[in-house]
Structure formats: C-alpha cells, structure tokens
Amino acid sequence: MDLVRFGRGIRALRMRRSWRQRDLAAAASVSQTLVTRVERGLGGSVPLAKLERIAIAVGAAVDLRVRFNGEELDRLLDAAHAGLVEIVAGLLRDWGWTVVVEATFSIRGERGSIDLLAWHPALRIVLVVEIKSVIPDVQATLAPFDRKVRLAREVAQERGWDAAVVASVLVVAEDRTSRRRVDAHSAIFSQAFPQRSSAVRRWLAAPEPSMPLHGLWFLSRPQHVTPRHRVARQRAGARAQTAGRASRISARESVGD
C-alpha cells in the first residue's frame, strides 16, 4: 500500500465533504490524531481495520494487493483455484451430476462465466457453483454470484436443460483468513447461504428438490507434494515395511518354538 497516496486520497475526499479532521475522526470512531497521521502518510503502524473505517467514512474502500515476481502470484492463485475446481467437479460427477466447467453466458447484455454449472437430469436441478480460493471483498463476491443464480435457468436452457429447481453453492478454500472474513459478516452470509459444509455435501450427494440448496462449503485446498514430502513418505513407508518384516519373522520364530 502506498501510504502517502492513501493519505492524500483520504484528505481530498474529506475536504470534498467539507469535513474537518475531527468530523472524519468522529465518523470513523478514531482519534483526530490518528486521522492527522494517516493524511500525512504516516499510517504504517495503524491497524488495517482502522484504515478501512476511515476510508468507508469518506465513501471509499481499501484495496490492498500483494505483488510478487510479476505475474507469478496470479499463476499461484489460479493454480489454487483450478485445484479446487477439479476437486468439486470430480465429486459432483461421482454423485451423478453432469458438470460444465467455466460455463460462459451472454443474456440481454449480461455477460459472465460460472465456475461450475451442474445438472441433475433425474431431478431437473441446475446447480451454480462459485469457487473462491480467497474472499477479497464480501460485496464483490456476493453481487456477481447473485446475478449468476438469477440467470441460471436461462443459462441452463441454452444447454438444453429444462430446470425446475435452481440450487447454488459458494465453495471457499478452508483457511483461518476465510473463516474470519465470513465470521465478520456472519449475518450476511447466513442469510445468503443457510446451509454449511456438512449439509452441503449431504444435499449434493442426495439432492432434495423440495428444499433447494443455497450453501457455503469450506473445502480444504489440494495439497502440493514437494520432493521433501515425497522423501519423508518414502522413508516412512520403508520403516513400516521393515517393522512389518520384523513382526512376521518374530511370529514365525514363536510358532517354531
């Protein structure tokens, strides 16, 4: 984050509202001294939650991004997302769903792509699955998802599926950061997604059309096996084999006695 630019932006937005620093401090529930530090570009030791409160008070938002070796971080995040897509698609197929990955649509000027669009032919259920390796912003996550669910029947019709029921699942990579973000907005997520992980899995394995699913599923990320992990596993396997042989030899000797 460019703290100097952030501070200049906060000051400009404050002045646009004809606010004094004390007015902004009151609106953000912080001290005037802290507002002064932030506007001077000295907000390095200020907790992110307070920076967010100051930004929200002037009608802005904090966009915190991590950059690493050009596009390498994007490729890493894409790989995490692709791994989750592969896991969910495989489970759905095992449970009898027809699955389309990256189902694109263009309906009345609304364009987009659904991570996984699934169809249960016996029960005529269309399922919209959105997959997030991270939840960067609650509103930016939920608004596009709502739009895809709203258009799901028409997207299904384009593929020859006459849906009687629309279900939806938001799949989120399991980690403490995602849990904290969901917990921080628990009322919003509980309303949008009444069912959670265990109930989601049960419903997907045995769908109930009379009770359409709208769930949030925390799913563990696919584990990447490094050479060190492979060596450790090989050594553990070798130790287990050695112990097994020793046990069999001991058993034979006992029988001989």
Please indicate, yes or no, whether residues 83 and 198 belong to a single structural domain of this protein.
Answer: yes
Q: Grade residue 40 by pLDDT with cuts at 50, 70 and 90.
A: very high
Overall average pLDDT of the 27-32 stretch = 94
Please indicate, yes or no, whether residues 82 and 36 belong to a single structural domain of this protein.
Answer: no
Please indicate, yes or no, whether residues 29 and 84 belong to a single structural domain of this protein.
Answer: no
Helix, strand or coil, per DSSP, at residue 186: helix
Please indicate, yes or no, whether residues 49 and 95 belong to a single structural domain of this protein.
Answer: no
Type of residue found at 89: A
Per this entry, what is the length of the chain? 257
For the cut 90, the answer to whether the pLDDT of residue 65 exceeds it is: no
Please indicate, yes or no, whether residues 78 and 26 belong to a single structural domain of this protein.
Answer: no
Output the pLDDT for position 234. 52
- As a whole number of angstroms, the distance between CA 64 and CA 49 comes to 12
Output the pLDDT for position 226. 39
Please indicate, yes or no, whether residues 77 and 164 belong to a single structural domain of this protein.
Answer: yes
Please indicate, yes or no, whether residues 53 and 76 belong to a single structural domain of this protein.
Answer: no
Please indicate, yes or no, whether residues 98 and 167 belong to a single structural domain of this protein.
Answer: yes
Q: Read off the CATH number of the domain in which 42 is found.
A: 1.10.260.40
Please indicate, yes or no, whether residues 77 and 166 belong to a single structural domain of this protein.
Answer: yes
Which backbone phi and psi does 173 adopt, to 5 degrees? Answer: -60, 135
For the cut 90, the answer to whether the pLDDT of residue 245 exceeds it is: no
For 144-195, the pLDDT digits (tens) are 899 999 999 999 999 999 999 999 999 999 888 888 888 888 899 999 999 9
Query: What contacts 28, CB < 8 A, 6 or more positions away?
Result: 35, 50, 53, 54, 56, 57
Please state, in angstroms and as integers, the Cα–Cα distance from residue 20 to each residue in 27, 59, 88, 161, following that order: 11, 15, 52, 59
Please indicate, yes or no, whether residues 92 and 10 belong to a single structural domain of this protein.
Answer: no
Q: Please count the structural domains in the chain.
A: 2
Domain membership of residue 62 (yes or no) is: no
Q: Read off the CATH number of the domain in which 164 is found.
A: 3.40.1350
Write the secondary structure of 99-147 as one string of H (helix), E (strand) and C (coil): EEEEEEEEECCEEEEEEEEEEECCCCEEEEEEEECCCCCHHHHHHHHHH
Burial of 53 (0-12, 13-18, 19+ CB in 10 A): middle
For 101-154, the pLDDT digits (tens) are 999 999 988 888 999 999 999 999 999 999 988 776 787 788 889 999 999 999
Q: Which of 98, 103, 127 is nearest to 203 (CA)?
A: 127
For the cut 70, the answer to whether the pLDDT of residue 222 exceeds it is: no
- Position of tokens 């009687």? 164
Which domain, by its residues, includes 41? Answer: 3-57
Output the pLDDT for position 80. 79
